[in-house]
Structure 1
């Protein structure tokens, strides 16, 4: 099932939505700064906002089509929406909260599906509790479970980490990765945190001022120097695919990439697991020859695949490392002094401490 979105809507005298994108099964992230219109797009897809014109369809069947006069109410669209706040009923137990959406839609009980969702989200020990006794991460998982138990054709998550601190984000991220890998339905994930998007999303829809600026596979978009202008130079970075190796007594774990091996802290995935690793462009240093006498442990052999000069003094260097793309942000003065050109062999140096748990997928 693929979600198709193409509509226009004027929200105010100075702001209008004009968006078009597709979301296949897996996570599609709507990414952009606050005020870009991401949450308004979710509301339109959910049926809580009626666009001025356009079409929204799931698996080819329209839920909204201004030309054909189609506008299904939210409950008939069967799209699950999880807001920034869990919005659980305080007087109901976790189990009764989970079952509420399904009962409200008149769906029969499904114990097998209920057990599957409880196990997938790791909330079995919480079923008898009330929402007041849950942590922020636990409450978010229960809200997602409630939406899933209503058998949605699409799941929408509107900045589910907005009210959580860093520790609680790390608590829920592995469960969202598990949901992504096993739910088998399209998931629209709204965020303005690039590490979260890089860790979870297969596709990114980059939004700004109500419009789609860029859209495509996450690995391609994040490693595109031109996209860095929209993402912001401090946010730009690439996602490489790694495989977890052994963990040394000092706590650093080997993560093997196509272009070399990284030694990273905070890796929780088991040995042999495949994980994505986000490396920020600002955390990459370039050398014309493999350096000696440095404290840095992580060195990848690369070639220059392209250079992109921004509006400021920086240059975004696109590197090819073992068939994968990596970005490095350096000054134009350094690029000129090094004689950087397409095809030039380089060593890319990455600090281990620059890559934290938020940059590592599971």
Structure 2
């Protein structure tokens, strides 16, 4: 098989890139190791920046998102009994949208056949070849047979553990990583949210987050040690802990229910650069990971594929090699700013095991300043709603 662009990974990054390329008349094939049901079973982020919603609308795929998503004008930072509201609509003139990553993926997946975007699922043993030459290619196995795709470019949208990043020699790349000494224990339940906006809570027992996927489905998290076990957290214990950490106002409106899903996710900050080697590009989690505190993971993937689709369109339409060369620098400039915001918000709202009384007083001082300063709230709002492309 031959195509102009071979994309590895049929998550939102890979599918969104494929749709953007097809909209420009560029041939693209997406290869995914898992089944469609498995892909749709991944429960991920739900807060979308304007960058992401604009891309969906531009493709004509945002109708369900606009109908079912929840526009949010702000969110809250909680410290004990205090709620500090960040009014992002008033401060930036923009909103964020709560609409699950699974639903974005479902919309992109459903539109692929009619848009001429071929997606090959259940592709095992995907390997990249000759990425530093003018004719790279992919190999994989499916249904017991070996397959090959020749392409002008390969785009790795295959996540942190995929093969794409590993195809770039260590001698030409640098990885930056920070591992946080805790994880997030999350519960998903079919209950109404305790607040119509998100609440990020800093409590002496650790961080907590009240979020949602819809008006009838809630997502909650608490900070736990990395060695914590799911079995140690039956539903009742988790609901009790959430009520304590989120504070009395939120606790009074928590509706309890059985968990649909419960998991513990470690937190890390990670950036791999450059995001291009020869004819191979990286986008999304294959190149960077952010702690979920800033709600940037999916949104950074969307900005990556925006830049990448522009670069590839310029190459195929105008033979513009400079656009291809600029991709990594353009993407990384926005990535590092988002990494900074997510890192700062994580430091502000979590209790670190090695923190002392001075560190805690700094958190209190920061929150006091944010509560009283329009300038500080504007900085947070601008970053939360998404920096310009």
TM range (shorter): under 0.3
What's the TM-score, normalizing by structure 1? 0.26
Higher relative contact order (CA 8 A, sep 6+): 2
The structure having more radius of gyration, on CA atoms, is: 1
What's the TM-score, normalizing by structure 2? 0.25
| Higher fraction of strand | 1
